[in-house]
Amino acid sequence: MAEPKRKTKTARGSARNARVKLRRRRSRQSSGKGDQPVFKVKDLARLVGCEYEGDGEVEIRGAASLENASPGDIVFVAQAKFRHLLETTKASAAVVSPEEKSERIPILKAANPHLTFVRIIEIFFKPYRPAPGIHKTAAVAKTARIAKTASVGAKSVIGDGVEVGEGSVIFPLVTLYPGVKIGKECLIHSSVSVREGVRIGDRVIIHNGAVIGADGFGYIKLEDGIHLKIPQKGTVVIEDDVEVGANSCIDRAALGETVIRRGVKIDDLVMVAHNVEVGEHTILTAQVGIAGSSKVGKSVVMGGQAGVADHVEVGDNVIVSAKSGVAKSVPAGLHVAGYPHIDVRDWRKISVLLPRLYDLFKDVKMLREKVEALEKK
């Protein structure tokens, strides 16, 4: 029997119709028992704008890793070193780079397989969102303005003059002090506290337990040893598309503003002190600490537990390796590591030498003793 030919399809011109069908399918599913959606390979290809090869009728019910996939799952392969796993995976389809081939399963071809896979995950898995409205146990001030499409959860406290924009979600047990402004489509998770006068842009996500706008850590030591608190009269401004991780803290300015620019992503347990400015699209990973009045540029990446001293400037596109200490300003484009920070290339050389340092010391000591003995003769 002749082997059936593999089909090759293109997604041009059909993405809009596919999205309409997707909305209708979700509408039908939301009125039923909430079963996991099912898509054919050809439908997924249209939705994410990809070409596909193989059987477009294969049904996909979810997304998984190569190692843990089951029949009905889709996976992705972005690096050649994982190519061999495509030959053994139990998945029913895969997202791959344009040059890849597969005789086993249908494949979606994408210039960026990882990004396409993320978009497929978004199609299958929608996070929980409560319905619009104000819970009966929420305490909302009469002067607060809550958009009709926003949601305020149980036992949240909304102060005087607070504004919450269209589509935003205030989960249970959130406290918004007076004068807080929250933009459109924000997610403020449970146990978040946003202090008075803080301004938050659109599509901002703040995870559980974060504190935005607490007093900056500022004191003057008097002659008798007492630490006099410096009033913290400024505020915090968080621009659009920022994400703040769980239990992170962004302190209000003493005067002026602490500013988190557009697109910044902040991991859990990060500390941003008073009057700091963090540039657009910068990433601060877990337990990073930035001391007062420092300025971090655009597209900076700071590894876990890295620290920045006060009144320091970190230039655009700088990378700070994990557990490094930035004690002085760093020019744009550098990759630094260690404490105090140095160029990462020098730090790597030192790291190689450190385990041998004691042996080198002993060798030098022995050679010195031999030289001294020869000089005495």
Residue 162 has pLDDT above 50, yes or no: yes
- For the annotated catalytic residues, the residue numbers are 274
Average pLDDT, integer, range 41-59: 94
Q: At what angle do helices 113-124 and 41-48 cross, to 10 degrees?
A: 110
pLDDT of 4 > 90? The answer is no
Whole-angstrom Cα distance, residue 156 to residue 84? 51
**Tell me: domain 133-345, CATH 2.40.50.100, correct?**
no
- Which parts of 101-230 fold into alpha helices (H)? 113-124
Helix (H, G, I), strand (E, B) or coil at 50: coil
Q: pLDDT tens digits for 179-230?
A: 999 999 999 999 999 999 999 999 999 999 999 999 999 999 999 999 999 9
Residue 357: per-residue pLDDT = 86
- Phi and psi at residue 265, to the nearest 5°: -120, 120
Query: Phi/psi of residue 35, each to 5°?
Result: -65, 155
Among the CATH numbers 3.40.50.720, 3.40.50.150, 3.40.1390.10, 1.10.260.40, which is that of 8-124? 3.40.1390.10
Contacts of 165 (CB under 8 A, 6+ apart): 147, 150, 182, 183, 184, 185, 186, 202
Does 78 score more than 90 pLDDT?
no
- Of the chain, the end-to-end C-alpha distance in Å amounts to 97
Q: What is the DSSP-derived secondary structure letter of residue 214?
A: P
> Taking the CB of residue 218, how many other CB atoms lie within 10 A of it?
18
Torsion over CA: 274, 277, 280, 286 (sign): negative
Lowest average pLDDT, out of 95-99, 154-158, 280-284, goes to 95-99
> Bigger pLDDT: 16 or 96?
96
With cut-offs at 50, 70 and 90, classify the pLDDT of residue 354. confident
CB of 190 within 8 A of CB of 128? no
Res 87: pLDDT: 86
Percentage of the chain beyond pLDDT 70 is 91
- The per-residue pLDDT for range 231-266, each reduced to its tens digit, is 999 999 999 999 999 999 999 999 999 999 999 999
pLDDT of res. 369: 86
pLDDT of residue 9 exceeding 60, the answer is no
| 21-70-51-123 Cα dihedral, nearest 10 degrees | 40
Residue 27 has what pLDDT?
A: 40
Q: What is the DSSP letter of 1?
A: -
Calpha distance 243→248 (Å, rounded) = 11
pLDDT digits 0-9 by tens, 65-74: 988 999 999 9
pLDDT confidence band for 32 (50 / 70 / 90): very low
Alpha-helix runs per DSSP H in the chain: 15-30, 41-48, 113-124, 344-353, 357-376
Domains of the chain, residue spans = 8-124, 133-345, 346-377
Query: d(Cα 103, Cα 252) in Å, to the nearest integer?
Result: 58
Answer yes or no: same fold for 8-124 and 133-345.
Answer: no
